[in-house]
Structure 1
Amino acid sequence: MFLYSLKRLALMLPTLFGVLLLTFAVIQFVPGGPVEQYLAEAKAGAGTGADGGGFSYRGAQGVDPKRIAQAKALYGFDKPAPERFWQMLVQFAKFDLGKSFFHNKDVSTLVWEKLPVSMSLGLWTFFISYLIAVPLGVAKAVRAGSRFDLITSLLVLVGYAIPGFVLGVALLVIFGGQLQWFPLRGLTSANWETLSWGARITDYLWHIALPVTAMVAGSFAVTAMLTKNAFLEEIRKQYVVTARAKGLSEGQVLWKHVFRNALIPIITGFPAAFVGAFFTGALLIETQFSLDGLGLLSYESVIRRDYPVVMGTLYLFTLIGLVTKLVSDLCYAWVDPRVTFD
């Protein structure tokens, strides 16, 4: 197991390098970079150069070449691409994610500022999904083929088929617009700081109810069906027949014997789902409900060509994903000693 872990850790380096290299190479060919946006803003201000306090120009000659050179130096594009890529790798090796072009802040600071919003959505979605999916999967397995199983399967599949952002729009229109039971935007009210602790918790839950509902609706379908299938597979095994023959009650057979073995595939995916809840930004949900989280930050960074934010968050999330995947694989051997990686 120790050697396997070392091999996986060693493989993370070329994987991470390949992801960064591919993304960096694609960025070099994407039009409309920071310098181009700067020049477009400069040209747009040509009409207000003398009177409006904008940029000053020399007729139709365009932007001053010195100004173009200054813009390239400002964003670091005065250096060759291989040199910029190497500098980025050196920064990342020191866990320095760089500085945003447009926010004038360190990328790590931006991530830290946006993290609470994404954590609020992710953690609530994670816990509620598991609290619903696992008991539902067990109930479906015990009542396999019954009317309850058929109806819940239909509801689960319908919830899985409806995109979260579509459900979010419906929730906003019905409960936020027409009925006005829930707020339309934000994570807290404007006067949140002046409220008591009890009122703050109530206000927070009031704001988070609709976006979490939109995310939960389709997120527990896979876990519920996986739990059901795992329980059905275990129930049919010989040790269950033996336990019943010894006179154990159905509850003892189910929760003392079947439950432990059937939850192996669920538990092994738990670390990845839990860590993902912290750093997974729901772009469309955050946009619909005006929640300033990591999803919205990533989208705006791509649109504005804020390359340090794009590459910095890519490096951070890829590294976290690789480590989490290793932890998930090791959980197989920890939960089930029969599993080896020889």
Structure 2
Amino acid sequence: MLAYILRRLLLIIPTMLGILLINFIIIQAAPGGPVEQMIAKLEGFDAASGGATGRISGGGGEVSVAGSNYRGAQGLDPELIEEIERMYGFDKPAPERFWIMLKNYLHLDFGVSFFRDAKVTDLIVEKMPVSISLGLWSTLIMYLVSIPLGIAKATRHGSTFDVWTSSAIIVGYAIPAFLFAILLIVLFAGGSYLDWFPLKGLTSNNFDELSLGGKILDYFWHLVLPVTALVIGNFATLTLLTKNSFLDEINKQYVITARAKGLTERRVLYGHVFRNAMLLIIAGFPAAFIGIFFTGSLLIEVIFSLDGLGLMSFEAAINRDYPVVFGTLFIFTLVGLLVKLIGDITYTLVDPRIDFENREG
């Protein structure tokens, strides 16, 4: 197992390099980069005002701007354009920029945001509590609801309970989480009916003045609606996966043999079926966690005014804020690969018969 873990950790390096390289090449080909945006901004401003004097900043540097830089139909002074490219680091060829980025990432230096005037590391740390809160609690509650419900549906397959819960699952599967979020706001956040829950932020304005118990209650009070929307919008797939996995195991020969030996139904279910059926569910945990943690909560963050990593990454991609784009991509990919490895290791904890060292045999 140790050798397998070591190989997986070593494979993370070329995987990360490949992902960063592919995205770097795509971004180089995409129009509307930070240099083009700044040039268009200066040309539009100078054309409207007849010239401007001052300094512009971005990418950790700044350049001076004078009214004589804009030359009508000829555009900006080439020297100013070169200075802007130097400010954003585009005065170097693409391979050299990629190599510099990799060297900085080895020291966990993700650079400075082009448009937020802050280090990417500081921005990620600042936004992390929102994403961790949404991802952690949503995934935990989703598994606590879906696994028992899926087992109950499997053991009562074809019953009235199975039919009615399947109807609820179909509704949850058909309606996306952000629509449930809007419905919850209308019903419980002062939209049209009740005003029980807050509509904005992760904590109240007087959070620092509250006691420890008050802070905990305030924190969960703000999380009720967004977490509920995420759970309702994502529990259907996991519930059906659990049910189908248990049904597949229940119909196998070893279960019939265990029943023939006189074992109780509970002993058969949790002593034999559970371990085998849970393998598929464990395999899906990393994708479920990472999906909600980084991407699934984007619209929820927007609707409930939660400034997290999903919203920051989306805005960075729209604004071509490359340090933030690559910094978050690096963090997201690294966490995803590590969580996937943890999921594989958990296989052996659930079923010790699994041996990754002899998987070829």
2:196 aligned with 1:181: yes
Counterpart mapping for 1:269-308 below 5 A: 269-270=284-285, 273-274=288-289, 279-280=294-295, 282-308=297-323
2:89 aligned with 1:70: no
**1:301/1:208 CA distance change after superposition, 3 Å:** same
Alpha-carbon distance in structure 1 between the residues aligned to 2:289 and 2:310: 17
Counterpart mapping for 1:129-144 below 5 A: 129-144=142-157
Task: Report if aligned partners of 1:156, 1:218 keep a CA contact under 8 Å in 2.
Answer: no
Alpha-carbon distance in structure 2 between the residues aligned to 1:230 and 1:283: 30
Give the aligned partner of residue 61 of structure 2.
none
Higher relative contact order (CA 8 A, sep 6+): 1
Give the aligned partner of residue 31 of structure 2.
31
Counterpart mapping for 1:248-263 below 5 A: 248-263=263-278
Task: Report if aligned partners of 1:129, 1:216 keep a CA contact under 8 Å in 2.
Answer: yes
How far has the Cα of 1:268 moved from its partner?
4.1
Partner residue of 1:328 out of 330, 343, 350:
343
Give the aligned partner of residue 319 of structure 1.
334
Alpha-carbon distance in structure 1 between the residues aligned to 2:276 and 2:54: 72
Alpha-carbon distance in structure 2 between the residues aligned to 1:166 and 1:271: 25
Task: Report if aligned partners of 1:286, 1:292 keep a CA contact under 8 Å in 2.
Answer: yes
How far has the Cα of 1:50 moved from its partner?
6.5
How far has the Cα of 1:336 moved from its partner?
2.5
How far has the Cα of 1:271 moved from its partner?
5.1
Alpha-carbon distance in structure 2 between the residues aligned to 1:296 and 1:146: 43
Give the aligned partner of residue 57 of structure 1.
67
Task: Report if aligned partners of 1:169, 1:288 keep a CA contact under 8 Å in 2.
Answer: yes
**1:277/1:164 CA distance change after superposition, 3 Å:** closer
**1:170/1:90 CA distance change after superposition, 3 Å:** same
Partner residue of 1:150 out of 153, 157, 163:
163
**1:203/1:323 CA distance change after superposition, 3 Å:** closer
Q: CA RMSD in A?
A: 2.5
Number of residue pairs aligned between Structure 1 and Structure 2: 342
Give the aligned partner of residue 114 of structure 2.
101
**1:65/1:145 CA distance change after superposition, 3 Å:** same
TM-score (ref. length: structure 1): 0.90
2:234 partner SS: coil
**1:128/1:112 CA distance change after superposition, 3 Å:** same
Partner residue of 1:161 out of 163, 166, 174:
174
Partner residue of 2:128 out of 96, 115, 118:
115
Task: Report if aligned partners of 1:281, 1:293 keep a CA contact under 8 Å in 2.
Answer: no
After superposition, the C-alpha distances for 1:269-313 in whole angstroms (9 at most, x for unaligned) are 445545666555621111111100000010110111110111111
1:338 partner SS: coil
**1:271/1:41 CA distance change after superposition, 3 Å:** closer
Task: Report if aligned partners of 2:246, 2:277 keep a CA contact under 8 Å in 1.
Answer: yes
2:211 aligned with 1:196: yes
How far has the Cα of 1:32 moved from its partner?
1.6
**1:110/1:67 CA distance change after superposition, 3 Å:** same
Alpha-carbon distance in structure 1 between the residues aligned to 2:218 and 2:291: 26
**1:51/1:85 CA distance change after superposition, 3 Å:** closer
2:202 partner SS: coil
**Which deviates the most, 239-248 or 184-193?**
239-248
Q: Which amino acid in structure 2 is aligned with residue 57 of structure 1? A: G
After superposition, the C-alpha distances for 1:202-238 in whole angstroms (9 at most, x for unaligned) are 3222221111111111212222112212222232234
Alpha-carbon distance in structure 2 between the residues aligned to 1:173 and 1:277: 23
Task: Report if aligned partners of 2:275, 2:351 keep a CA contact under 8 Å in 1.
Answer: no
**Which deviates the most, 234-243 or 136-145?**
234-243
After superposition, the C-alpha distances for 1:25-82 in whole angstroms (9 at most, x for unaligned) are 1111222211122222222332446699795423625433332222111110111111
**Which deviates the most, 45-54 or 290-299?**
45-54
2:353 aligned with 1:338: yes
1:103 partner SS: coil
Alpha-carbon distance in structure 1 between the residues aligned to 2:258 and 2:52: 90
How far has the Cα of 1:316 moved from its partner?
1.8
Alpha-carbon distance in structure 2 between the residues aligned to 1:24 and 1:31: 13
How far has the Cα of 1:162 moved from its partner?
0.8
Task: Report if aligned partners of 1:234, 1:261 keep a CA contact under 8 Å in 2.
Answer: yes
How far has the Cα of 1:93 moved from its partner?
2.4
TM-score (ref. length: structure 2): 0.86
Task: Report if aligned partners of 1:281, 1:296 keep a CA contact under 8 Å in 2.
Answer: no
Alpha-carbon distance in structure 2 between the residues aligned to 1:93 and 1:187: 33
How far has the Cα of 1:151 moved from its partner?
1.3
